[in-house]
Amino acid sequence: MAYLNANIPPTYAQIRREYLYDCKKHHGEVEDCIIFGITCMGGRAILWHALMENGAIFYRLPISAFIQRGFKVEDVPRRRLDELELWNSFSYHPAVTHWAILSAASGKYIGKDKKWHHGAYLFTVDWAHPDANILDTDHSEIPHEHKCAHIIALDDGNYAAQPNNRCIWDLPSFTVKNNIPDWKVQNNEWNVEDSGEWRTQDTDNFFYEIEEKTNGDEEKK
């Protein structure tokens, strides 16, 4: 698992030029770039790295700094960062996955404005705490707190990063129901070794037996 920085599928995009000038000038202008990586720090938005046409690299910009190629900047609505990305990074340890089943799938997410925003799936960012020797102060592995971030190329030219419980995907041959799920948040930590009701046979056999513990085992303690 990556620490701090991670590669992403290279994304040919445009950058709002004001982000190259600390948002102080060049508003309403764009230039081409390739977004190639991310930085994740707990308590911060996902930050994106871009290679510019002059060969320079600009690190750690928010998703709101970019629009898609093929769009005129004046046609792409400006959206607040917190409208495009609901949650900050959950830890310094991101995992980037391109889920094949969602490859090029269309989808939509429900925004803070209570409207559906449509787009196409790109890839997913998820987080974990990989080292038991480091104090875990984040929420990435608490079942009811966990969120991932699906990266979506929106139909309006923006990009978004949204969790599972805000997204609906469209696979025409399978997703034939139109209802919004009424599911509940997952609170269980699933573990197959915590029952205390079985043990392996005390042997060097390759195919060892599995034995259930009995009341007599407890009495011997």
Domain boundaries, the chain: 5-170
Q: Which of 18-27, 180-189, 211-220 has the lowest mean pLDDT?
A: 211-220
Q: For residue 80, list its beta bridge partners.
A: none
Q: For residue 106, list its beta bridge partners.
A: 120, 170
End-to-end CA distance of the chain: 42
Q: Against a cut of 0.75, is the pTM above it?
A: yes
Q: Which segment, 101-105, 149-153, 185-189, 211-215, is predicted with the most confidence on average?
A: 149-153
CB-count burial class (<10 Å; 0-12, 13-18, 19+) for 58: middle
Q: What is the mean pLDDT of residues 134-152?
A: 80
| pLDDT tens-digit map of 22-45 | 999 999 999 999 999 999 999 999
Separation between Cα atoms, residue 218 and residue 99, nearest integer Å: 47
- Contact partners, residue 15, CB within 8 Å, separation at least 6: 30, 31, 32, 33, 50, 52, 58, 61, 65, 66
pLDDT confidence band for 216 (50 / 70 / 90): low
- Contact partners, residue 3, CB within 8 Å, separation at least 6: 92, 93
108's tokens = 């939509």
Maximum Cα–Cα distance across the chain: 79
Whether 88 has a pLDDT exceeding 80, the answer reads yes
| Cβ count within 10 A of residue 107 | 20
Q: For residue 49, list its beta bridge partners.
A: 37
Q: Residue written as tokens 């009424």?
A: 182
The residue ranking higher by pLDDT, 192 or 4, is 4
